[in-house]
């Protein structure tokens, strides 16, 4: 069965490629740091399961040390000038979109075909990883198509990939680091503590106040953890189920679904949700690393009010 | 008596982010401090951190798209995205992003979340197209305005996924809600839950869509 581990082999190869590509860029004074950073990540993808928990812990500290000591840089060399790119763009025309679209198309059509035909019964792909596995296939197909058609220099995908990776820099691993922080928070009992704290300030007798506390609790706890999934079980156990469902007789489906969606409003407003908020700012080369959050805050606040209204009206009055 | 000490780790994260220390350093420090305050021995903290990192490798898989995107950018993909928009009549940054918002919400509602995203679609296609549409309408933009349009492109991707995905029955968050409720003896089907994601999804489209139309007007005033 093709599962996540196959993708880890591919991802390890890509990160090893970034290490090689960084070394090849002599305009980057810090290229050794970049190569070590990607080399460690390649090691993690390939051999993470063999390193043991402590070994992985040391690897994490080494990755953090490289980033924290400012040992990451990027080169100044552009492979092709803006003019050359305009020229290529004219020459290849709209067909340039095809390889780029191969990736989402393979993932999209592939997932539908796999899930809704007898292929699913063959057990070829791990059901939990279908779209990601097909995304990986899409990347491989797109690379083959691009090489066959554009005939670029052999190592150019490695060079160009590491150029982009170096432009992004340390935010690349921030989401994975935050997920590990979540594991520590859970092990140290942070969730239970917050749940107890919230339970101790619950107002009595007012459904509206309890709804407000539940929704704002989801938002604030999500902003702290960077993830509504970590906040939901805690808030559901502290307020959602004992107060809103059992004591006040709310509709559990609404309390559950819209409670989670209130948490998503928090996700839009926190740097802790790095893969949604900080990474794109780096990827789009924005000067303000909080620019994406700033753009989202008005939508998030209006949607929070909408969710509170739905919780109160649909949860208790329909 | 509740032990409040582990919450100090959260305070460290907030302060560290606010003072703009390197976030990786802040997160690692907070993880170790939280673990120690939660009465875990140092080696146990280190092992938990390493285990968490290893188990969450799938979070970083998405970067495998970079070699393809980089290669195509070398041959003018972003320039092409701009040309297409420049030749399209009636295209504005706001309208373009509204179409993308709808597309992203519908795909997410079908469970197709990793099909689009910041590395796959926003950087190579959506952001350059939105900037080109804005420039076509209002002439050359200053850096600050370009940054606003790009940030709004990323924001639109996030809003689309967040307020679309819960309509899909088998998404992680719906299964988590079902599981949390079941542990308190409340039995719900994924269908009952995902139906209640629909009103919020429609409102999100209206709210964010209106903001995108306002963006067009705001750009008009700046030009």
| A191-218 confidence digits (pLDDT tens) | 788 888 887 887 777 899 999 999 999 9
3-state helix vs strand vs coil in chain A, percent to 5: 80, 0, 20
pLDDT for A81 equals 83
Cβ distance of A177 and B211 shorter than 8 Å: no
Residue A128 sits at the chain B interface (C-beta within 8 Å): no
Same domain assignment for residues A178 and A241: yes
Parent domain of A71: 4-168
| A288-313 confidence digits (pLDDT tens) | 999 999 999 999 999 999 999 999 99
The A residues from 26 to 65 touching B (CB cutoff 8 Å) are 41, 44-45, 48-49, 51-61, 63-64
Same domain assignment for residues A12 and A158: yes
| B202-215 confidence digits (pLDDT tens) | 999 999 999 999 99
| A267-292 confidence digits (pLDDT tens) | 999 999 999 999 999 999 999 999 99
Same domain assignment for residues A162 and A267: no
* Nearest residue to A288 via CA among B153, B212, B71, B151: B151
Same domain assignment for residues A277 and A299: yes
This prediction has a pTM of 0.87
Residue B223 has pLDDT above 60, yes or no: no
Cβ distance of A104 and B120 shorter than 8 Å: yes
User: What is the percent of chain B with per-residue pLDDT over 70, rounded to a whole number?
Assistant: 98
Same domain assignment for residues A29 and A152: yes
The B residues from 120 to 149 touching A (CB cutoff 8 Å) are 120-125, 127, 143, 147-148
Same domain assignment for residues A221 and A109: no
Confidence grade of residue A224 (pLDDT, cut at 50, 70, 90): confident
Q: Which of B23, B76, B107 sits opposite A88 (nearest CB)?
A: B76
Confidence grade of residue B86 (pLDDT, cut at 50, 70, 90): confident
Same domain assignment for residues A213 and A275: yes
Residues of B in contact with A61 (CB under 8 A): 28, 46
CA distance B197 to chain A (A): 6
Same domain assignment for residues A121 and A49: yes
pLDDT for A61 equals 97
Three-state DSSP state, A204: coil
Q: How far apart are CA B71 and CA A96, in angstroms?
A: 11
Same domain assignment for residues A18 and A133: yes
**Mutant choice from B8, B18, B43, B68 vs A, greatest count of A C-beta within 10 A:** B68
pLDDT for A143 equals 95
Confidence grade of residue B222 (pLDDT, cut at 50, 70, 90): low
Residue B70 has pLDDT above 70, yes or no: yes
Average pLDDT over residues A2-29: 94
Same domain assignment for residues A85 and A121: yes
**How is residue A303 written in tokens?**
């949607």
Same domain assignment for residues A163 and A279: no
Q: Which of B52, B150, B158 sits opposite A183 (nearest CB)?
A: B52
What's the mean per-residue pLDDT of chain A? 91
pLDDT for B126 equals 95
What phi and psi, each to the nearest 5 degrees, are found at residue A206? -110, 115
**Count of domains for chain A:** 2
Residue B192 sits at the chain A interface (C-beta within 8 Å): yes
Residue B155 has pLDDT above 60, yes or no: yes
- Sketch the domain layout of chain B as residue ranges: 5-55, 65-222
Cβ distance of B173 and A260 shorter than 8 Å: yes
Same domain assignment for residues A155 and A17: yes
The β-bridge partners of B186 are none
Confidence grade of residue A34 (pLDDT, cut at 50, 70, 90): very high
Residue A68 sits at the chain B interface (C-beta within 8 Å): yes
Q: How far apart are CA A60 and CA A41, in angstroms?
A: 9
């Amino acid at each position: 069965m093709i599962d996540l581990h196959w993708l880890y082999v591919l991802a390890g190869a890509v990160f090893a490629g970034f290490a090689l590509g960084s070394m090849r860029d002599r305009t980057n004074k810090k290229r050794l740091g970049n190569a070590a950073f990607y080399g460690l990540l390649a090691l993690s993808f390939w051999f993470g399961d063999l390193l043991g928990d402590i070994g992985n812990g040391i690897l994490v500290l080494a990755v953090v040390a490289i980033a924290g000591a400012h040992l990451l840089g990027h080169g100044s060399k552009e492979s092709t000038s803006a003019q050359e790119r305009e020229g290529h763009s004219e020459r290849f025309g709209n067909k340039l979109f095809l390889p780029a679209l191969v990736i989402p198309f393979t993932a999209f059509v592939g997932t539908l075909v796999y899930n809704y035909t007898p292929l699913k019964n063959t057990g070829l792909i791990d059901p939990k990883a279908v779209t990601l596995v097909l995304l990986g296939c899409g990347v491989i197909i797109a690379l083959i198509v691009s090489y066959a058609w554009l005939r670029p220099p052999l190592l150019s995908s490695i060079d160009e990939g590491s150029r982009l990776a170096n432009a992004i820099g340390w935010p690349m691993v921030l989401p994975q680091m935050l997920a590990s922080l979540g594991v520590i928070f859970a092990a140290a009992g942070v969730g239970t503590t917050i749940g107890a704290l919230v339970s101790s300030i619950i107002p009595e007798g007012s459904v509206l106040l309890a709804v407000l506390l539940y929704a704002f609790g989801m938002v604030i706890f999500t902003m702290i953890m960077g993830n509504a999934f970590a906040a939901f079980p805690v808030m559901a156990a502290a307020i959602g189920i004992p107060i809103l469902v059992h004591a006040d007789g709310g509709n559990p489906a609404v309390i559950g679904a819209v409670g989670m969606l209130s948490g998503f409003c928090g996700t839009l407003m926190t740097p802790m949700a790095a893969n949604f908020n900080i990474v794109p700012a780096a990827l789009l080369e924005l000067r303000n690393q909080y620019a994406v959050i700033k753009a989202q805050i008005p939508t998030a606040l209006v949607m929070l009010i909408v969710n509170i209204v739905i919780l109160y009206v649909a949860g208790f009055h329909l | 008596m509740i032990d409040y000490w582990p919450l100090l780790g959260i305070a460290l994260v907030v302060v560290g982010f606010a003072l703009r220390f390197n976030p990786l350093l802040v997160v690692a420090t907070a993880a170790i401090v939280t673990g120690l305050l939660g009465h875990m021995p140092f080696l146990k903290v280190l092992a938990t951190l390493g285990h968490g990192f290893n188990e969450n490798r799938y979070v970083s898989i998405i970067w495998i798209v970079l070699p393809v995107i980089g290669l195509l950018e070398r041959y003018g993909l972003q320039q092409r995205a701009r040309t297409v928009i420049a030749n399209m009549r009636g295209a504005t940054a706001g309208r373009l992003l509204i179409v993308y918002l709808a597309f992203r919400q519908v795909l997410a509602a079908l469970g197709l979340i990793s099909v689009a995203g910041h590395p796959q679609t926003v950087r190579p296609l959506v952001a350059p197209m939105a900037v080109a549409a804005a420039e076509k309408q209002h002439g050359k933009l200053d850096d600050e305005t370009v940054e606003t349009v790009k940030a709004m492109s990323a924001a639109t991707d996030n809003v689309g996924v967040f307020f679309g995905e819960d309509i899909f029955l088998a998404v992680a968050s719906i299964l988590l809600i079902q599981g949390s409720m079941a542990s308190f003896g409340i039995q719900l089907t994924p269908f009952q839950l995902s139906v209640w994601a629909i009103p919020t999804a429609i409102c999100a489209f209206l709210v964010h869509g209106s903001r995108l139309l306002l963006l067009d007007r705001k750009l008009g005033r700046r030009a």
